[in-house]
Every structure is written in C-alpha cells, then in structure tokens.
Chains A and B, each alone.
Chain A
Amino acid sequence: MKGLWKKDWYLMKELKKTLILMMLLVLFILFTELNNMIFVLNYMTILSSMMVINTFALDEQKNGNAFLFTLPFSRKTYVTEKYLFGMILGIIGWGLTIAAAFAVSMIKQTDLKWGNLGLQGIVAFGVFIVMLGIAIPIQIKFGAEKGRIVLIAAVLAVSFAGAGIMSFLQGEKREQMMDQMQWILRQKWIGAAVGAGIVCLFVISILYSIHLIEKKEY
C-alpha cells in the first residue's frame, strides 16, 4: 500500500495551487465571519477529501489502470488505499480549517465558541465521510468523466427530492413534520444512531467498491 500511497501524493502535487487558493478563501471567509464555521468546515473537508476523485481520474488516463493492476497489489488494496487517502485528505482539510479558525480568533482577539465548533466539526466530519462513501463507488462504476456527471446528478436529485417533499407538504402537515423532525433531533440517541448509520454506510460503500473493481475489465 505504501507504493500506492506515494503515487497518490505525487499526483496530488499538481493540485497544490488549488489547495493554496482554497486556504486563502477559507482565511478570507473566517476573517469576515468567524462564527460561520459550519459552512467553511464542510466546504474544506468535502473539497479536500474529494481530491481523491482526481487521483482516480489521473490513474485512469490513457489506460493507466490496466498497467497499475499488473503491479504487485490487489484491486482490494487499491480501493482500500483510495478510501484511506480520501479520509486523510478530509482530515487534513478539517484540521487546517480548525487551526485557521483558531489563528484568526487569536489575531482578531475574538472568543471562539468552542462548544459550537466541536459540534460543527463532528457534523462536517460525518458529512465528508458520507460524501466519500457515495463518490468513490460512483467513480469506480462510471469512470472519471461519467462519474462526475452522475455525482452531480445524484446531489441535484437529492436536493430536488427534498425540496419536492417540502413543497408537497402544505400547512399543518408541514408544521407537524417539522415538529416531529425537531423532536427527533432533540433526542440523545440520535447522535449515536446517525454515527452508527454513517459507519455502516461507509463499510457498505467500501465493500461495494471492492466488488465493482473486481468485476471491472481493463
């Protein structure tokens, strides 16, 4: 796995400029609105972890995958490394954003609400794990080019479905549902249930990706 790891880091060097631009943007947002952390955290962790998708695309270019799979590692190792790599990238983006928020709060001499930040950090972490769990099997199944389109279509479909449900529920029904949702969110067990759900989804995603790549022909 060490060899694959090195390969992906070398591929990432091309994205250095993008990373620097992202960090500058994060610093700018934090300076303007320090307590808007949830957006920045989500944005940075998801964007960082999604860079693993670029490494899929680069591996695939000019039939590169065919050559890669003649090297001494299994397809299972290849997939596992991608998940780990995506997680590490997400954690780096997540950590950098929290560090940047801390630095900005020091410079501006503002108090960060650490309690909120902790909760927002956990939410952002969960969101990026889910995104990674969805994006990787899509990339493997559809390839780099089609995969991007399918991923965008999936996100749009979920958004439209959500908006559709909300517009379908009018008046009392809508208020009732909102009340029920808020009741659910207030329960203590909800955090553990969501966490367990995310872990399950992630494991299923890894297993499905391994199944997909083992079936694939190059």
Chain B
Amino acid sequence: MLLEIKDIKKQYKKFNLHCSMEVMEGRITGLIGQNGAGKSTTFKAILNLIHLDGGEILLFGKDHRKLTTQDREKIGVVLSEGNFSERMTPRECAQVLNSLYQKFDIQNFYERCEKMGVALNKQIKEFSTGMQAKLKILIALSHQADFLILDEPTAGLDVVARGEVLNLLREYMEQEEERAILISSHISSDLEGLCDDLYMIHQGKIVLHEETDRILSEYGVLKVEEKQYQRLEKKYLIRVKKESFGYCCLTNERQFYMENYPGIVTEKGSIDEVIEMMIQGGTV
C-alpha cells in the first residue's frame, strides 16, 4: 500500500478534519467533495504541511513525517495553490528540479513543455491560469515519481487542455504497474473517466468510498411518490431526500428496484448526483 491514512484529526476553529483512506499501488484514487469539504487539508496533511492533532499517515509504509529525501523524490505533487515563484521561468524551474531530483529528465521536460505550449523562457507571472496548471502537472510528472498527489490539477484548464492532462496521467500509469495517483477535482467528469475508486469527503469526513465502476453501473436515484416510498424496500437505500413530488432515494442496488418495482422512475447514478444525494439527503 502506498498511502494509508488512519483516523487523522485536525481541528480548526470552524472546521474539523477526521478521516481515513488508502491508496493502493496500480490504482488511481479520487477525492471528491465540495469547496471547503477538506480535500486540500487532507492533501496538506499527507504532505506534512500541517501538523495533525491525532491519527497516523503512512507513505510508502513509513510515518509521513519521517520521509527521507530519497522517499520524497518518489512523490510528484500538484497543489491547488502553490508553485515556484512567479518571477521564475519554466527553464529556470527545470534547472532547479534537475539539481533536486536524480531522475529528472530535463530534455523530456523541455519537449513536453513545447508540446503543451508552455513557453520555456517566459516568467510564470505572464502565464494564463491554464498555462500555469499545465506547468504544475509537467513538473509533477518530470521525475519518474512512483506516486502522484494531485490537488485540483485540472482547475483553470479548458476542455481540450483537461483532456490532454488526463491523457498524460493515463500514460504515466501505463508506464509502470506499481505507480499510483491520488487526485482531487471538483469536476466529476474528470474523475469519472480516470479513477478506479473514489472517496467522497464532506465537512471533513469521508461519507462514501466506492469503486467508480460500481457507482456508474449499480448506483441510481429513485424518484418516488409518498405512497410508493411507503411500500419501498429500504434495505438498499443509502440516502433519502424529501422533494415536492415525494422522495428522491439514492441506492447502490439500482437493478433490484428496476426488477421489483417496475412502476417507479429509476435514474442511472452519476457522480454529481451521488454527491448531491450524499450531502443533501438524510439517512433512511
């Protein structure tokens, strides 16, 4: 296991983080949630940028606070905020990275920058938000890391650039079986087509962990009237939300309801709908 987060706690005045999660080798794990749900705080905790009030984080099987320089070379990071100084150029960043990482491939970095349209001799402050996002990704991918920790890497990118970045991530995973990615995004469609499993975080707590394929194939939203709801088998309902017409119910056994209750409206689950129901709906 590359990453194990065991019951970590971090208290702020108006926010408490309290979660556990895991990332296995060979997998892309997504962390999804609303703004302020705790995604970036979780990433900061993993990267030892904040101090925990409780719990434990193991990275490569070691306490995350005790990683050596060699261990840290095995991680590629994108933070939603934070990069090299805006006064530097990508060429200068490459020179710095070349001195910091043994496996940094400077020629490959230059070629990728050129391919992605990132000007090597321009100061970062002159870059558009999208261009800055591309540079961050290219930096994270530049040194053959075993594990990528990417907080909102596609923020600020247009549809085409997002596609390019997601393809880069797929290529990265195809190169070596043992690699893994932990990625957060508020754009669920990015994660839908990329992640093997998803963690959903809300108010600092993990509210759902599920295989992406299972969410897309077996989760669903039932739209039922009051009378139908009373007769409904509730064993497979995860969340229920009161609506003007009756109830919206989130299930992880859509097929069961389609077969046994042919009269009710059953919609295929999308990640957005699942998030909405998990957050707004109540328990059954």
Contacts and interface: CB of A to CB of B under 8 A. Distances in A.
Given A6-B99, A66-B81, A72-B100, A217 B86 contact: no
Contact of B83 (A14, A64, A72): A64
Given A70-B77, A217-B51, A10 B96 contact: yes
Interface in A70-119: 70-74
Nearest to B74: A72
The winner among B49, B81, B95 for most chain A CB atoms within 10 A is B49
B73 interface: yes
Contacts, number: 86
A218 B75 CA distance: 18
A61 B92 CA distance: 17
Q: How many A residues touch the partner, as a band? A: 20 to 34
Given A3-B99, A66-B44, A218-B44, A72 B69 contact: yes
Q: How many B residues touch the partner, as a band? A: 20 to 34
A60 B87 CA distance: 12
A6 B95 contact: yes
A12 B170 CA distance: 38
Interface in B85-118: 85-88, 92, 95-101
Contacts of A72: 69-70, 72-73, 100-101
Interface in B6-65: 44, 47-51
Contacts of B51: 215, 217
Contacts of B50: 217-218
A58 interface: yes
28 contacts: A3-B96, A3-B100, A6-B96, A6-B99, A7-B85, A7-B88, A7-B92, A10-B92, A58-B85, A58-B87, A59-B85, A63-B82, A64-B82, A64-B84, A66-B49, A66-B79, A66-B81, A67-B77, A67-B83, A69-B47, A70-B77, A70-B149, A72-B101, A73-B72, A73-B100, A74-B69, A217-B50, A218-B44
4 nearest A-B residue pairs (beta carbon): A67-B82, A3-B99, A3-B100, A72-B72
